[in-house]
Structure 1
Amino acid sequence: MDHLFTVVGGAATPVPPTVLAAEGLLERQHLQEWVIANPQVLGESVLVITSEFDRWADTDGVPARDRLDVLGLDATGRLVVAELKRGTADRDVHLQAITYAALVSRFDLDTLAQAHRDFRKGRGELLGLDECRQRLLDHVDGEWSPELLQRPRQVIIAADFPKQVTHTVVWLSEMNLDIELVQVGLWKVKDQLIAGFTKVYPTPEVEEFTLAPARSEAKAAARKLEERSRARNAVHVLVGAGLLPDGTLLTLTPRHGVTEGVREDIVAWVQQDDSRSSATWRNDAAKPLTWQADGKPYSPTGLANHIFTSVTDRKADGIQGTTWWDVDTTRVPDGADPDEWATLAGTSLAGLAKQFNRTGKDWTGLHTLLAAIPAGRWTTYGDVAAVINSHAVPVGTHLATCRQCPHAWRVLNTAGRISPGFRWHDPARTDSAADVLSAEGIRFDAGAADPAARLSVDDLTALADK
């Protein structure tokens, strides 16, 4: 974030940047604590294992003053080594990060559990070693993989980076070493300090077009990481977009990572107990599926692996579980419009995430657009979704529960009918949405609104641009 402004109407006033040192903020007591409290700056679904770690001093000969700033674990099963600098990074900061990554790459589950127990104890939380071990296992999507532990991801956070660092990090990334640069900025707005964290390398474009081809040629551990990362990203897209309401029914269709013979064996195994074929969705990024066969929560990949092992008695490897679960549109969740819900039929979680990976839960744009729809006009969930870069299903479910959405009765389904899920939030109201629309001048024919009064995507876009 290079520039920050305070905005009053049409006036935007630059906010002058400051630095941590000038504000009396320290690396360990402040910057490090920000990261520990907000581990999302290190990536999605990162659990902080420990900080200020120096337990290798007695065994490896590394001086005790060399302390790893923050050690995390992401949901794919990789360690995350974070090196923090409150000012401009040293010219050899990447060497420090690489050294710590090499040291922690030899850690096992017990070592990490011990470190986490000591870390939490230092913060007043008394946890048993078994409890810490289980916490780490539960955080990982799928089976615990020692191979992935050997490939830590590195994140360097600093106010700025010398060219020697950026050039070296680019080359290391091209050589298949995962290392990221995150810039921390500080601004003061009316005596209030505002901190911002911006990932400056690699950018999404670099990851997709430069680094991905090299990583696709890596060994088995890297391939496993990519499969898990795709699964995790799909789940985060769906949860972040609110695309599937809690309670959505999913059906099993084994696809990725198994042979045709194994698929046939799984189908036969499922036919022995119908509950094995179904799971319900919950908007939890860690374990969103509840399997009806045992009532336990799973990640999509974790459940696919469990089913594979139950059928074959072999350890699963490389399954992308989000391809195994399809939306069952025969049961419409509360608040969802049946016509819009039917458009999700036959699509897997992975397919939905790929199709709707730009959706989000920020409804500010929706509220602004709804306020601009005039009386005597109507539109559809799908048209509104197209304008705000979402999808008809989350738009419909949001309108069904939102108490701040203006003119919600002017949004109908694709057939121009009032959604069965539409409700007034005032229980005392006895009129219907059709009554209100009729009073506003919209004619209905056999329950469908006059198509001449419909606002198209282009019409809505024009309203949004005013």
Structure 2
Amino acid sequence: MDHLFTVDGGSATPVSPTALAAEGLLERQHLQEWVIAHPQVLGESVLVITAEFDRWADTDGVPARDRLDVLGLDSTGRLVVVELKRGTADRDVHLQAITYAALVSRFDLDTLAQAHRSFLKGRGESVELDACRQRLLDHVDGEWSPELLQRPRQVIIAADFPKQVTHTVVWLSEMNLDIDLIQVGLWKVKDHLVAGFTKVYPTPEVKEFTLAPARIEAKAAAQKLEERTRAQNAVHVIVGGGLLPDEAVLRLTPRHGVTEGIREAILAWVGEDSSRASATWNNNTAKPLTWKADGKPYTPTGLANHIFTSVTGRKADGIQGTTWWDINMAHVPDTVDPDEWGALAGTNLASLAKQLNGTSKDWTGLHTLLNAVPAGRWTTYGDVATVIGSHAVPVGTHLATCGQCPNAWRVLNAAGRVSPGFRWSDATRTDSPADVLSAEGIRFDAGAATQEARLALGELRRMLGG
């Protein structure tokens, strides 16, 4: 930012630039804290993992003295190495950034979780190691990729950059090394200081026209990442929306990323041991599948890759594992009504997430609606789900496990029957929802509530205020 003005109508008054050193502002106590407090200056969706990190060792096991200013993690799963200079950057500042990038490229999830826990503890926040690990996993939109960790992005922030640095960074970028140069400026406006962060390299135009030809090879890797991201996004949609209950059984059907010949070989291999064909679902965004063949947890793509390698002896390449796992209609979870479960027949995880993307898991609307259902009337899982913007299966799962839903006995399946998964919050109760509904004046014919007492969709919407 070359010029800054204060404006009063048609009058513009130049604002004098100053410098951090001139104002007594320090690199660690001030500039570094600004970045930690506002990581958006490093790019979109960056989580700060640690700062002032120095817990590495050389080949002799002696701790190194160098301190990494800031280490972040972006939402794609790449590490972000940040080097800070309050004045003009040193002529070899890019070498420091590259050195730190090389060191952190060997980090794994556990190392990063330990570093994050220590960082938070130093700031007065006590968080368990498992919680730190889960925070890192949840921050990544796609599947956690050790390969991506080996390619950190570097950000150098300084008041100015000598030409030696800018020329070298341009060349390194053309060689497919990701380095951003961000200029921090300081101005004095009356009694206040104003700081600004401006990316000076690469600009959007440089990224598009100069660097793109040199990064054709990286495009294939990005496409693979996109496939992994789609798979992991499907898991987040399903878990976030409560679309599948725990212990739902999934059946293996190889699809994306394999030829017909390999598909037949996998099915033949599965035929040798039926446990290879099944996995159970658990609402865990990290590894939601438990394979019945070995009892170990996997991601959908991780398990598909494992099966592919077991059959072919080759490393899998570009499989979207969420297309491989179908909902097994023969195994209806206790918490789900069979009629509603049947609506998901033949659905794989990818299709389920696409079909039900946006389904709500905020049950405030559900509780409000159920509270308004009067005695002597009943409704269905499907109608309730339609009104609150959800789906019958997660609604049924929630009602079966909530324990605090008002008037839950007034929700029946589409045929007017009590769901087999219904449970009273008071385990000592021996009466059935049909007994209570009958006492409220609802007639039953052959075990099904009469339709005359069923609430119409319009009535339900009015009860919810719409």
TM-score bucket (shorter structure): 0.5 to 0.7
SS in 2 for 1:334: coil
Which residue number in structure 2 is paired with residue 72 of structure 1?
Answer: 73
Amino acid corresponding to residue 318 of structure 1 in structure 2: G
Which residue number in structure 1 is paired with residue 269 of structure 2?
Answer: 269
SS in 1 for 2:251: strand
Which residue number in structure 1 is paired with residue 359 of structure 2?
Answer: 359
* C-alpha contact (below 8 Å) 2:245/2:282 kept by paired residues: yes
* C-alpha contact (below 8 Å) 1:288/1:299 kept by paired residues: yes
SS in 1 for 2:326: strand
Which residue number in structure 1 is paired with residue 444 of structure 2?
Answer: 444
Which residue number in structure 2 is paired with residue 192 of structure 1?
Answer: none
Q: Cα deviations across residues 267-316 of structure 1 (Å, max 9, x unaligned)? A: 11111111111111111101011111111111000000011111111111
> Structure 2, unaligned stretches of length 5 or more?
1-28, 59-64, 89-93, 122-128, 156-179, 185-193
- 1:456 equivalent to 2:452? Answer no
Q: Cα deviations across residues 331-374 of structure 1 (Å, max 9, x unaligned)? A: 11121111111212210011111111112321111000111112
SS in 1 for 2:223: helix
Which residue number in structure 2 is paired with residue 431 of structure 1?
Answer: 431
Which residue number in structure 2 is paired with residue 306 of structure 1?
Answer: 306
Following the alignment from structure 1 to structure 2, what is the Cα–Cα distance between the partners of residues 439 and 166?
74
Which residue number in structure 2 is paired with residue 388 of structure 1?
Answer: 388
* C-alpha contact (below 8 Å) 1:49/1:115 kept by paired residues: no
Amino acid corresponding to residue 350 of structure 2 in structure 1: A
Which residue number in structure 2 is paired with residue 32 of structure 1?
Answer: 36
Following the alignment from structure 1 to structure 2, what is the Cα–Cα distance between the partners of residues 114 and 148?
12
Which residue number in structure 1 is paired with residue 248 of structure 2?
Answer: 248
> What is the CA distance between 1:415 and its match in structure 2?
1.1
Which residue number in structure 2 is paired with residue 344 of structure 1?
Answer: 344
Amino acid corresponding to residue 458 of structure 2 in structure 1: D
Which residue number in structure 2 is paired with residue 150 of structure 1?
Answer: 151
Following the alignment from structure 1 to structure 2, what is the Cα–Cα distance between the partners of residues 169 and 437?
67
Q: Write out aligned runs for 1:55-94 (5 A).
A: 68-72=69-73, 77-80=77-80
* C-alpha contact (below 8 Å) 1:71/1:81 kept by paired residues: yes
Identity of aligned residues (%): 58
> What is the CA distance between 1:113 and its match in structure 2?
7.7
* C-alpha contact (below 8 Å) 1:147/1:221 kept by paired residues: no
Following the alignment from structure 2 to structure 1, what is the Cα–Cα distance between the partners of residues 241 and 364?
14
Which residue number in structure 1 is paired with residue 379 of structure 2?
Answer: 379
Rg larger for: 2
> What is the CA distance between 1:164 and its match in structure 2?
6.4
Which residue number in structure 2 is paired with residue 322 of structure 1?
Answer: 322
Amino acid corresponding to residue 106 of structure 2 in structure 1: D
Amino acid corresponding to residue 110 of structure 1 in structure 2: R
Q: Write out aligned runs for 1:139-288 (5 A).
A: 146=147, 149-150=150-151, 152=153, 219-288=219-288
Which residue number in structure 1 is paired with residue 170 of structure 2?
Answer: none
> What is the CA distance between 1:463 and its match in structure 2?
1.4
Following the alignment from structure 1 to structure 2, what is the Cα–Cα distance between the partners of residues 124 and 434?
53
TM-score by length of structure 2 reads 0.66
Which residue number in structure 2 is paired with residue 334 of structure 1?
Answer: 334
* C-alpha contact (below 8 Å) 1:32/1:70 kept by paired residues: no
Alignment coverage as a number of residue pairs: 372
CA change 1:412–1:161 in 2 (3 A) is farther
CA change 1:442–1:121 in 2 (3 A) is closer
SS in 2 for 1:347: coil
> What is the CA distance between 1:458 and its match in structure 2?
2.5
> What is the CA distance between 1:243 and its match in structure 2?
1.4
Following the alignment from structure 2 to structure 1, what is the Cα–Cα distance between the partners of residues 79 and 447?
58
Amino acid corresponding to residue 72 of structure 1 in structure 2: L
The partner residue of 2:106 within 103, 110, 124 is 110
> What is the CA distance between 1:71 and its match in structure 2?
2.0
> What is the CA distance between 1:70 and its match in structure 2?
3.1
Following the alignment from structure 1 to structure 2, what is the Cα–Cα distance between the partners of residues 291 and 251?
10
CA change 1:166–1:436 in 2 (3 A) is farther
> What is the CA distance between 1:428 and its match in structure 2?
3.4
Amino acid corresponding to residue 288 of structure 2 in structure 1: P
SS in 1 for 2:275: helix
Following the alignment from structure 1 to structure 2, what is the Cα–Cα distance between the partners of residues 430 and 353?
38
> Structure 1, unaligned stretches of length 5 or more?
1-24, 36-40, 59-63, 85-89, 93-97, 126-130, 178-214
CA change 1:308–1:269 in 2 (3 A) is same
* C-alpha contact (below 8 Å) 1:287/1:298 kept by paired residues: yes
Amino acid corresponding to residue 358 of structure 1 in structure 2: G
Q: Cα deviations across residues 51-106 of structure 1 (Å, max 9, x unaligned)? A: 345899x9xxxxx99954332276x653356899xxxxx9x9xxxxx999977765
Q: Cα deviations across residues 362-390 of structure 1 (Å, max 9, x unaligned)? A: 11110001111122221110111111111
Amino acid corresponding to residue 359 of structure 2 in structure 1: T
> What is the CA distance between 1:153 and its match in structure 2?
9.8
Following the alignment from structure 2 to structure 1, what is the Cα–Cα distance between the partners of residues 270 and 406?
47
* C-alpha contact (below 8 Å) 2:249/2:328 kept by paired residues: yes
RMSD over equivalenced CA pairs, Å: 4.7
Amino acid corresponding to residue 327 of structure 1 in structure 2: I
* C-alpha contact (below 8 Å) 1:81/1:100 kept by paired residues: no
